[in-house]
Structure 1
Amino acid sequence: MYANSTCYDLFVDNNNTLYCSMYHQHQVVKRSLNDPVGTSAHVIAGTGIAGEASYELELPWGIFVDTNLDLYVADFLNHRIQLFQYGKSNGTTVVGYETPNPTFHLSFPTTIALDAEKYLFIIDNDHERIVGSGSYGFRCLVGCYGQDSQSDQSNPLYDFSFDRFGNMFVADGVKSEIQKFQYLEESCNDSLVAKSIYKSAITSNSSTYIHHCRKSGSYYQAIQMNVTITGVYTFLIKSEMTVIFQYMHQNSFDPFNMSKNAIIYAIINNLNYLIDYRSPFQLMETLQLQANMPYVFIMTTCSPNNTGNFSIEVFGPNHVNFNRIGEYL
C-alpha cells in the first residue's frame, strides 16, 4: 500500500485488511491485502483537514479494529478516543470530555487496544500512565501515582501488549526496559464484588493544613477505612469541587506531611477539562489492600475557598468500614 504520509500505527483485521493512521494527514486509510494489484488506499476516518468535529481527526495515532470491523482511533490532539462504526464516517467519542457522561479524561492518547470483552486499554501519554475500562468504568492501571522508580510507577510510555493470560507488557520510553504487570484474576471476578459508599462534604468548618501550593490553609477531611478480607479494591471518587487532592495512607497520616506513608496520591482537576461542573467529576483507582491494616483516606483542596460535596465508592471482595476521624492518627 502506498501512503503519502507516515503511518504512526498499523493494524490488520480478520479480513486481512491493512489499516494505517496517517498522523500528519489527519485521517485513517485502509487497503485489502487480498488484492495483489491494488496499490491505493481509501479513507475510512478523517477528512485530511485537522478538526474536532465527529467526522474529523487531529493527529490520529493508535488504531484498533474489533471483530465487527469497527475502528477505534486515538485522536491525539483532541484528547479523545473516537469510534467509527463499520461503514460510517461520523465517529463517536467513547473516552474524552465529549462523552455524554465524562468519567475519565485523557491528555494526548497514543496506543490503544481492545480485549475480547471490548474493554479499552489506552496509553494516556501526557499523564504517563495506562488506563483501562472494566465493569465499573475506567481506572488507572500503570503509572497511577506519578513518576517513581518502582515498577508500578511509570515514565513516558512507548507501547504495550498482552499475552494470552492477560498479563501486560509495557515498553518504558526512558528506562529502555520492558516491564511485566501480572493479571490478577480475583480483581475481575464480579461475583465477589461488594459495594461500600461514603458521602460527605468539605466545608469552611473542616480541618485545615498548609499545602505546598498555598501559603494559607487548605481544607481536608480524613476517613479511616478498615477491610476484613485481603484483596483488590477499586475506588470511585466523585467530587463537585474544582481541584481535589486525594491521598491514601497506610498505618497513619500527619497533616503537616501529607506525603508520609501515602500509598496513593492523585489530583482531581476539573479546571483542566471541559466538562459540566454541575455534574461531579470522577476518578477511579485500583489497589491491593491488606486485612486488618489501618488505612486513612484524605480528601483535600488546593484553594482555601474550595468546598463542596464528595463521595467514595469502593468495590471489592467485602464491604469496607468508614469512620471519619480527627486531625491525627
Structure 2
Amino acid sequence: MQNGATIVGGNRRGNATNQLYDPNDLYVDDDQTIYIVDFVNHRIVEYKCGATTGRVVTGEYGSGNRSNQLNTPTDMIIDKEKDSIINCNYNNKRVVRWPRQNGTNGEIIISNVGYHGLTMDVDGFFYVADCDKHEVRQYRMRERQETVVAGENGEGNRLDQLHAPRYVFVDRDHSVYVSDGYNHPVMMWMEGEKQGIVVASG
C-alpha cells in the first residue's frame, strides 16, 4: 500500500496563500492546475502544478455580498467556452460567474437559491443541488429554462425525494447522480424519471 502525498496546503489551517481552512471542493484543469474552494476563507485559490503557494482568483476581498466577494463558497466548475469560473455561493444564495483572467467582480447568473453542488453536462447545461428545497435543477441559460430533474417532492427519504442534496454529477446519458446529504446514499436519476435508484449507501 502506497502513502499519499500532500500537494496543496499542509501548513495548518490559515488564510495565507500556502494555507487552507476547511477546503470544500476542488477542480483539476487539463494542465493539472488545481482550484480549491476554500470554504471558511471565502475564496477560490489556484495552484499551478507543483506550486506550494497559491493565487486567490476569486474572493480576495473577504466575506460579504458585494460583486467582488464570496460568502461560504461550496462548489465550482470551469466553463472553458467562456473561460470563466462558476461557483455556488451558499450564504449569499446565488451562483456567480467570474472571469478566469483578471476578474475581480462576479456576475450573478442564478439567485435566491440554497445551492450547494454544481456541475455542467456535455451540452453546456448547468445542474445545481438545492439543499434548501431538496431537489436538483437543470438550467438552460440561453433558453432561460429551469427544470427539476431530481426531487421535487419535498424533504424525505422516499425514492422520489431528497434530503439536503450536496453534490451532483451528470453522465453522457444525462443521468443525474446526487449525494443525498442527510439520507446518506448516492442516488441516480435517469433522464425523465420521477424517482431515483440507490447506487451506493453508507
Given the two structures, how large is their TM-score scaled by the length of structure 1? 0.39
Other structure's SS at 1:53 match: coil
Residue ranges of structure 1 left out of the alignment (5+ in a row): 1-37, 147-153, 186-329
Residue number in structure 2 paired with 1:56: 19
Give the AA of the match of 1:59.
D
The question of 1:132 aligning with 2:97 is answered yes
1:11-50 equivalences in 2 (<5 Å): 38-50=1-13
Distance (whole Å) between structure 1 residues aligned to residue 132 and residue 16 of structure 2: 34
State the secondary structure of the residue aligned to 2:49: coil
TM-superposed CA distance for 1:112, in Å, is: 1.0
Identity of aligned residues (%): 25
Q: Which residue matches 1:120?
A: 85
Point out the structure with max Rg over C-alpha: 1
Counterpart for residue 141 of structure 1: 109
- The one-letter code matched in structure 2 to 1:171 is A
For residues 53 and 98 of structure 1, the distance between their equivalents in structure 2, rounded to whole angstroms, comes to: 13
The structure that is helix-richer by fraction is: 1
- The corresponding residue for 2:138 is 180
Shift of 1:126: 1.1
* Structure whose residues are more often strand by fraction: 1
Q: Give the TM-score taking structure 2 as reference length.
A: 0.61
Residue 121 of structure 2 corresponds to: 163
- The structural deviation recorded for 1:162 is 1.1
The answer to whether the Cα contact below 8 Å between 1:165 and 1:183 also exists between their aligned partners in 2 is no
The alpha carbon displacement at 1:103 in A equals: 5.3
Structure 1: distance between partners of 2:43 and 2:59:
5
Deviation at 1:160, TM superposition (A): 1.7
Equivalent runs, 1:1-329 vs 2, <5 Å:
38-98=1-61, 104-117=68-81, 118-134=83-99, 138-143=106-111, 146=112, 154=113, 156-184=114-142
What amino acid is aligned across from residue 167 of structure 1 in structure 2? F
Deviation at 1:169, TM superposition (A): 1.2
Does the CA-based 8 Å contact 2:58-2:98 persist in structure 1? no
Count of residues in Structure 1 that have an aligned counterpart in Structure 2: 137
1:27 corresponds to which residue? none
Question: What is the SS of the residue equivalent to 2:122?
Answer: coil
Matches of 1:160 and 1:172 in 2, distance apart? 9
Report the secondary structure of 1:77's partner residue. coil
